[in-house]
Amino acid sequence: MVLSLLDAAIGVVATLVLSGLAVVGRALTPAAGAVAAGFGAVIVISAGFPYLALLVLFVVASSLATRVGFDQKSARKVQEGIRGERGISNVLAHILIPTAIALLIGLAPSVLSPSSGAILFAAALAFGASDTFASEIGVLSGTARSLLTGRPVEPGTNGGVSGPGEAWALVGSLATAVLGVGLFAAFASPLSDPGRFVGLVAVAGFAGCQIDSILGELLENRGLLTKGSTNFLGMLSSVLMALGGLWLLGPH
């Protein structure tokens, strides 16, 4: 669905205001805020308000997670930005795929139905929440082990995971799924199968976070990937897993 002219105007204004607040609140740099506003406008016009609301919720939750124990993270030099703000590369890594999904929903519903598109869009953001919660809160646990070898590594090392970090990763993906159901209902776009939505989104988001850790250890640590490209590929893996789940479960 593509919004009407009036709704589109409202959506664009809302996106600009919310992006401005993210910059003022130091969640995004000014340049990143401008990029987020542009992509956010495309998302809300193409797919509708529930999608923008879920994106905003992700940005707010990520900002809050970034600020948890910030002084401790800053002292160990594992903080995001200078004061927790995220730059253009981080925004692009997390918004390109959701925007592409939103465009398909709005412009090619015969290719991607709204019900399937909602799952793929939410799975992408579930990965983002899972990865952010795991890294921003898990790094405070004080211990970490390689996901591949089990050997102790310094907290914050690419590929390093901890019990608390994994628990928070699951919280991030599951919360995105559950809140997504509520947001779609709140905007008069209730999902046809909420149980399927929650299951696929939560599992895909969490699993994508594990793939992100593996890519970080195998490729990013060797300089073959950047942090942004690792995040992008992790998000893509979550969307592909959700798509695979839709294929296995069949139409609904």
pLDDT at 222 > cutoff 70: yes
Which residue, among 117, 139, 103, 131, has the nearest Cα to 234 in the 3D structure? Answer: 131
The two tokens of residue 51 are 């999608």
The torsion angles phi and psi of 172, rounded to 5 degrees, stand at: -60, -45
Predicted TM-score of the model (pTM):
0.93
% of residues, the chain, pLDDT over 70 = 94
pLDDT at 155: 81
Question: What pLDDT is stored for residue 77 in this prediction?
Answer: 67
**Residue 88 near residue 94 (C-beta atoms within 8 A):** no
Of residues 67 and 234, the one with the higher pLDDT is: 234
- CB neighbours of 222 closer than 8 A, spacing ≥ 6? none
Which residues pair with residue 144 across a beta bridge?
153
Cβ atoms of residues 53 and 45 within 8 Å: no
pLDDT digits (tens, 9 = 90+) for 62-102: 888 888 877 776 766 666 656 667 889 889 999 999 999 99
Distant-in-sequence, close-in-space partners of 2: CB < 8 Å, separation ≥ 6: 8, 45, 46, 106, 107
The predicted pLDDT at position 2 comes to: 63
> Where are the chain's structural domains?
49-249
